[in-house]
Amino acid sequence: MLEKFKALGLSENTLAALRRKGFEEPTQIQEQIIPLLLHKEVDLIGHAQTGTGKTAAFGLPLIEKLEERARKVQALVLVPTRELAVQVAEEINSLKGERHLGIIAIYGGQSMDQQLRRLSRGVDIVVGTPGRVKDHLQRGSLVVKQISCMVLDEADEMLNMGFIDDVEDILRYTNAEKRMLLFSATIPERILILAKKYMPDYQIIRAQKDQLTVSLTDQIYFEVAHSDKLEALCRIIDSEVNFYGLIFCRTKIDVDTVAKKLGDRGYDAEGLHGDISQYQRERILGKFKQQRINVLVATDVAARGIDINNLTHVINYSLPQNPESYVHRIGRTGRAGKEGTAITFVTPAEYRKLVAIKRVIKINIRKEKIPAVEDIIRTKKTRIKNDINGIIRSSDGKDYIDFAQEMLVENDSSEVLAAFIKYAFQDELTVRNYSQIREVSIDTKGTTRLFVARGKTDDMDPRKLVDMIKQIAQVDSRKIRDVRIFDRFSFITVPFEEAEIILRAFKKQRTTKRPIVERAKDKKKR
């Protein structure tokens, strides 16, 4: 069952730990990185999205190669958030099997005294956020002058959160002779500069995006008015037999509002965002991982580090700000070889953003209709029927046979069963639980008028303007209509989707404060 893991060079102890966790086959990045780290002393950059299995990719070789009972820090893992620190430490700890290795997560918001006591007893692997790691280094409570490996996990996110300077400060405390591993969903220039400075001979290992977004995640979207989003969300939850999902909202206020309204409707839901205390955060995440709640509403930042293999759904209650965030979100479902569903709510005002996301990730996100109330009731009835048949087959209802026969003496059997169903499920099987959802039609076939900051003084005529746009944006020239050339500017009309391509292409060409091409303003505003 674990033959592919065994072929990577992992020990029987580690294979046993993988077996206990239910692993079956390595992910793409694990297949590439694990043998490399086990058999070669190389620095590397892992170009990988959330959900590709990168924690095990570097964690398993650490477990295999570190010295047991060394009573000194042998590996330092830096992560951007405290949630991720806890997640990574827990994951490595669960994979170590019988090996005697001490692993600790250190992060802001947790008791400093508790961390000091744990560090003083000796640990082998420290997983921490840059701020708290730096605090311990300055105190002298953390010594990293003899580490054999340093890992920067989600390096691009550390850059986005302003931690790169702290990372460099921490690197100055470490010894020169160590292996460096850097993992990042994107590799911006600042990350490459860091790599060249501290990892002169690194290799880049890339995990393909389509493994994350296509093979294991079914992606759909619903067109819905903003006021109907909650009703649509409830219908989706109710239409699934065992819904277990993560709901993404844009703001903390939205998280609180959606979580409260779901709770008021009887769903096992809680919210997670940056204003929640560390104690509450750990309590909520614990309940979600144990499936004592099946709906978690969160912001992007608060959801960092949530790594759960059996989510059935990720729902974009609000569209993310960029395609990278979309990939991060939906990468949380469809893990460990299990299929998942990513659902996105799109209002008319958000459709342009959805088109942009589809273009960048090059994936079809298909349109579906929100489940009808009749279909949801039918699904619930099927679920109840299956549950009752299960009780009959297991003989768990034997204690109630006398009571049932007593009820049947004076009444027809069908009427008795119908009455019991009404008694037990009438609140669940009524259409009154659902409000009407208005149909929203987004015009995807319409056109957009574009302003072009080039005109006759730039030696432009209709043919030259169309050729310029075709060359830069790679769009069909036949779709560029109603070209009007003035002295210093021009106007063109193109289909909606081509307009998005043109705007994006010319944004890359931009050399002045004002873009060459932009959406034309409404005449009333000009």
My answer on whether 342 and 405 are in the same domain is no
My answer on whether 183 and 279 are in the same domain is no
The residue from 172, 189, 207 where one domain ends is 207
My answer on whether 175 and 273 are in the same domain is no
The two beta strands, 149-152 and 75-78, are parallel
- Please indicate, yes or no, if residue 442 is contained in any of the structural domains: no
- Please indicate, yes or no, if residue 487 is contained in any of the structural domains: yes
- Please indicate, yes or no, if residue 525 is contained in any of the structural domains: no
The two beta strands, 203-206 and 340-346, are unpaired
Instruction: Give the helix/strand (H/E) hosting 353.
Output: helix 351-361
The residue from 392, 411, 433 where one domain ends is 433
Number of domains within the chain = 4
- Please indicate, yes or no, if residue 439 is contained in any of the structural domains: no
The residue from 207, 222, 244 where one domain ends is 207
Three-state SS for 354? helix
- Please indicate, yes or no, if residue 242 is contained in any of the structural domains: yes
Longest dimension (CA), the chain: 97
Residue 140's φ and ψ, nearest 5 degrees, are 85, 5
- Please indicate, yes or no, if residue 385 is contained in any of the structural domains: yes
My answer on whether 126 and 262 are in the same domain is no
- CATH code assigned at 515: 3.30.70.330
My answer on whether 257 and 222 are in the same domain is yes
Q: Check residue 478 and report its DSSP letter.
A: G
Residue-number span of the structural domain to which 381 is assigned: 374-433
My answer on whether 356 and 490 are in the same domain is no
My answer on whether 365 and 389 are in the same domain is no
Q: pLDDT in tens for each of the 526 residues of the chain?
A: 688 899 999 999 999 988 877 677 888 889 999 999 999 888 999 987 666 778 899 999 999 999 998 889 999 999 988 878 888 898 899 899 899 999 999 998 888 999 999 999 999 999 999 999 999 999 999 999 999 999 999 898 888 778 889 999 999 999 999 999 999 888 888 888 999 999 988 999 987 644 444 446 789 999 998 889 999 999 999 988 889 999 999 888 999 999 999 999 889 999 998 778 778 888 898 899 899 999 999 987 677 656 676 889 999 999 887 676 788 788 777 655 567 899 999 987 788 778 878 877 777 788 899 988 888 888 888 888 888 888 888 877 778 888 888 888 888 888 888 888 888 777 777 777 788 887 776 655 567 889 999 999 999 999 999 999 999 988 888 889 889 999 999 999 988 778 888 988 887 776 666 789 998 875 444 3
Q: In what order do the strands lie in the sheet with 75-78?
A: 103-106, 125-128, 75-78, 149-152, 179-184, 44-47, 203-206
- Please indicate, yes or no, if residue 412 is contained in any of the structural domains: yes
CB under 8 Å to 351, separation ≥6 — which residues?
223, 442, 444
DSSP one-letter string for 290-344: TTSSSEEEE-TTTTTT---TT--EEEESS--SSHHHHHHHHTTSS-TT--EEEEE
Count other Cβ atoms within 10 Å, centred on residue 424: 12
- CATH code assigned at 112: 3.40.50.300
Q: What do you get for the CA distance between the two ends of the chain, in Å?
A: 68
